[in-house]
Amino acid sequence: MPLSTNLHLRNVIILLKKWSKQEYTIAAFTIILFIFSLTFLNRSNQSHSNDSHINLIPFTPLANFKQLGALCLDGTAPGYHFQKGFGSGSRNWLLHLEGGGWCNSISSCSYRKTTALGSSNYMDTPVPFSGILSSVPSQNPDFFNWNKVKIRYCDGASFAGHPESEPKGSGLFFRGQIIWEAIMNELLSIGMSKAKQALLSGCSAGGLATLIHCDNFRQLLPKEATVKCLADAGFFLDEKDIAGNSTMKSFYHDVVQLQGVAKSLHKECLAKMEPSKEEILKNIKTPVFLVHPAYDFWQIHNILVPEGSDPHRRWKSCRLNIQSCDANMISILDSFRSSLLKAVNEFQQRKDIGMFIDSCFIHCQTWMGETWHSPRSPKINHKTIAESVADWFFDRQVVKLIDCPFPCNPTCHNMDFTRV
């Protein structure tokens, strides 16, 4: 890992020690994971450094962001990376919403604004487009020549915060909803308004943002256009941790309250005391595809076995590498998997909802070439994620792929954090 990354990581840990246990449990892991993910992607790109097809895409700050009031947490310009489509894909659009967790307090949001997840001052640019954003036909056979946009995440509330909730004197800007609307308007002005086909995708917090904004995205585009949405690891379970505490439910409640997220949700969801991801998905009218690992390490680390639930650190090795889990731990993980399958089971009858639920110990899988479509990609029924998504998007067939339990799938790309 580069020296600058190590120093930044050390500063993160020093600051996080000042936070509450709940803030540390989720925010610390999220920021560390974000840094690790960038390092992993850089290593992957370096291994393909001789590939002449890799393009670095510059950052485009949102025009007139101050006048529009569309601000990152620290008041800097939000923005995106845009690669123009060509040939048969010149009127097709693929948008990818960046992920990176959430902030649930003034303290965690104040730190977040000193990182790439809260300020464009710290964002890496230009960035390589890989996975679902790749322009290489062999790596992205069905979407390689589309107009492709990576929208950067700098608001801390899945593009759903509202300025009415900004704490006075905090120096924080909760403008996620305004950022979403402003970037959509800018993309419409440069050609998206004439789209024939469009796919809104997102990873993690960006996957949740995809679910929140999916129907609005459909409404922005021509009625005759084919418009669908893809949530990658964006379906977060409402489960108690191994100590019986509702750690994540409490965390999400704080995010919603802090940034006024409820204003961005469906009215039907607001009828519920605590809107769940299942309720959000139930009320989406636009076709949706769920790419999701049944052993999502982010959810295992933050929902099922957060730090506070394991005071004796019996789960330490298991949390870092699923291969280190004993039989009892695997049984608990399988129960967590069963909760996921139960949650999505009611959507089995909806032909417009597609699924690729593998049994891998990973989080996001669409933004990396290795897991999206390559000889090493995870497969179910001999099909990669890219092939399965394309079958669903182009109505080639109904796609409801659910893997057998761990460790049955040898194609899984299981993360091993002991190597970090």
**Residues acting as catalytic residues:** 204, 296, 363
Distance CA 319, CA 416 (A): 9
The strand pairing partners of 82, in sequence order, are 149
DSSP labels, 284-295: --S-EEEEEETT
What DSSP designation does 300 have? I
Nearest to 411 by CA among 377, 388, 386: 377
CA angle 210, 221, 292 (to 5 degrees): 20
Taking each helix axis from N to C end, the angle separating 176-189 and 205-220, rounded to the nearest 10 degrees, works out to: 50
- Is the preceding peptide bond at 126 cis, omega within 30 degrees of 0? yes
Nearest to 76 by CA among 179, 168, 6, 188: 179
Distance CA 377, CA 132 (A): 13
Three-state secondary structure along 10-54?
HHHHHHHCCCCHHHHHHHHHHHHHHHHHHHHHHHHHHCCCCCCCC
Nearest to 352 by CA among 282, 279, 265: 282
Taking each helix axis from N to C end, the angle separating 29-46 and 3-16, rounded to the nearest 10 degrees, works out to: 170
Q: How many CB atoms lie within 10 A of CB 382?
A: 7
CA angle 405, 411, 414 (to 5 degrees): 75
Q: For residue 289, report the phi and psi dihedrals to the nearest 5 degrees.
A: -120, 135
